[in-house]
Amino acid sequence: MCEFFRNFRSADTNHDGFLQKEEMKTFFKLDDAAVNDIFAKFDANKDGKLSFYEYADWIMKTEFEKVDTNKDGKIQPEELKAYFKLSDEAVKAIFEKADLNKDGVLEIDEYAHWRQYAKMKEEFDAADLNKDGFLQPDEVNKYFSMEDVTGVFDKYDLNKDGKLDYKEFLNWRTDVILKYFFDIIDTNKDGFLQPEEFKAFTGFDDAKVKGIYDAYDVNKDGKLDFAEYKTLKMELMAKKFFDKVDTNKDGFLQPEEIKAYFKLDDAAIKEIFDKFDENKDGKLNLKEYIKWTHSKCDQKK
């Protein structure tokens, strides 16, 4: 994700939070035909520009197609091994984490999710100069060329041990990306997103903006602060997988849907619902699903 973001930010020369065709041509050295083809395939809302997520879809799909040498629309373990020159053990570990539905292949969403976090881990490992599995202040200073890292450690070193573990690092770098877009949307620079600012950036109609603010403006002050905006963006990203599992499209995950998609037994399903079905209605809403998936990530670290 960090590499994707750095390239996006560099290409976004007018700093509007989108990539225009001319910016794509210039930064990626593409001709008109190539750019037009990209926009035809990945400009989902047909607004003539690529959002960060449309851009990321393009990057991921392009790489996915290179790895998928047999062109069946799925990544086999041997394809992943050959493309990235990985050992059998490494491939096995990746599939254990990334193959969410346990069908022995990676679909595009599974592959993209793995690659985004793999890029973050690569950056963490590169910054970890002494290879102790943590980032010390001097390592953050050197790798990210930051003169003062006090603010980063004050905010993200949650256990106050004077170093960042991978989870703390991931939280920091995710905030860096989200803050870039938050600041662009915040045109009056008051540190909040007013409904009209959000509408102007997204192109959403009044009804959709109202629905978002009703759901995410937790303190009901008529604007979104950064924490509320982050919750919105993280839930939108999670909803992509949520909707895939929600086969009956009722907006909830039933036990049988989770069991079928993730290939879990009855005991595992009972444990999930005992822990994460907070309102005990026999199904998981989006927020409950996110808490469950975050707990899975913590267990696999």
Amino acid 84 reads: F
Query: Which amino acid appears at position 44 of this protein?
Result: A
Sequence-distant (6+) residues with CB within 8 A of 177 are 1, 2, 5, 52
Say if 117 falls within a structural domain: no
How distant, in Å, are the alpha carbons of 89, 140, 142 from that of 147? Answer: 40, 10, 9
* Domain annotation covers residue 297: yes
Cα separation, 286 vs 267, in Å, equals 22
User: Which pLDDT score, from 0 to 100, does residue 133 have?
Assistant: 97
Compute the distance between CA of residue 56 and CA of residue 45 in angstroms, rounded to an integer: 15
30 in a structural domain: no
Angle (CA) 249-51-179 rounded to 5° is: 100
- In sequence order, what DSSP letters do the residues of 141-205 get, joined into one string? HHHTT-S--HHHHHHH-TT-SSSB-HHHHHHHHHHHHHHHHHHHH-TT-SSSB-HHHHHHHH---
pLDDT tens, the chain, 301 aa long: 467 899 999 999 999 999 999 999 999 999 999 999 999 999 999 999 999 999 999 999 999 999 999 999 999 999 999 999 999 999 999 999 999 999 999 999 999 989 988 889 999 999 999 999 999 999 999 999 998 999 999 999 999 999 999 999 999 999 999 999 999 999 999 999 999 999 999 999 999 999 999 999 999 999 999 999 999 999 998 998 899 999 999 999 999 999 999 999 999 999 999 999 999 999 999 999 999 987 765 555 5
CA dihedral 174, 300, 92, 109 (to 10 degrees): -40
Token pair, residue 41, equals 């395939």
Residue 97 DSSP SS3: helix
Non-local (6+) Cβ contacts of 120 within 8 A are 1, 2, 169, 170, 173
d(CA 142, CA 106) in angstroms, rounded, equals 36
- The Cα–Cα gap between 248 and 206 comes to 29
Within-domain flag for 179:
no
In sign, the C-alpha dihedral spanning 189, 192, 197, 198 is positive
In a domain, 126, yes or no: no
Q: 75 has which bridge partners?
A: 106
In which domain, by residue range, is 293 found?
A: 246-301
Contact in structure between 263 and 236 (CB atoms under 8 Å):
no
Q: 3-37 as b/e, with b when 16 or more CB fall inside 10 Å?
A: ebbeebeebbeeeebbbbbebbeeeeeeeeeebee
SS3 17: coil
Q: How many domains does the chain have?
A: 1
Secondary structure of residue 219 in the 3-state scheme:
coil
Instruction: Write down the pTM of the prediction.
Output: 0.84
pLDDT for the residue numbered 299: 52
DSSP-derived 3-state class of residue 120: helix
How big is the chain, counted in residues? 301
Is residue 276 domain-resident? yes
166 within domain boundaries: no
CATH of the domain at 272: 1.10.238.10
Q: Please indicate, yes or no, if residue 119 is contained in any of the structural domains.
A: no
Structure letter (DSSP) for residue 246 = -
